[in-house]
Amino acid sequence: MPCYVVAATTQNLTPDPLDPSQVVSGNPQVSTHELLETDALSVGIWQHTAGVSSDVEVDEIFVVLAGRATIEVANGPTLEVGPGDVGVLEAGAETIWTIHDDLRKIYIIRG
């Protein structure tokens, strides 16, 4: 595996369209940049533009680089996240993401 550095806040990302069934309101666009993919781990940069979408989570730790969002976890807490926040999501959690300002995060997903 090569060694390298990327500028996480300005790295060009590749469109990764949401399934239309995930769009709750607005016209949110998602894009990503994969940094590392192994059997046990996936690490990358993820961006979601303003709008609302639903998801079923995987085991993930993330660090918000930019933007602001409210993450409603079914039968759980409502999380307010912004730059510098570190979040933890549990596999199987059903969530609604309300992106107030385009959100960019680094994610680490357990495979």
Give a yes or no: residue 4 inside a domain: no
Residue 28 structural domain: 17-110
For 100, the token pair is 């107030």
* Cα–Cα distance, 17 to 32 (Å, whole number): 10
Give a yes or no: residue 92 inside a domain: yes
Tens digits of residue pLDDT in 53-96: 999 999 999 999 999 999 999 999 999 999 999 999 999 999 99
pLDDT of residue 1 exceeding 80, the answer is no
Give a yes or no: residue 5 inside a domain: no
Structural domain total, the chain: 1
- Closest C-alpha among 38, 20, 39, 36 to residue 28: 20
- pTM for the whole thing? 0.95
CATH code for the domain of 77: 2.60.120.10
- pLDDT class for 49, splitting at 50, 70, 90? very high
Give a yes or no: residue 87 inside a domain: yes
Tens digits of residue pLDDT in 13-42: 999 999 999 999 999 999 999 999 999 999
The pLDDT, as a whole number, for residue 111 is: 80
Give a yes or no: residue 69 inside a domain: yes
For 16, the token pair is 């990764």
For 17, the token pair is 């369209």
Give a yes or no: residue 6 inside a domain: no
Give a yes or no: residue 3 inside a domain: no
What are φ and ψ of residue 48, in 5° steps?
-135, 120
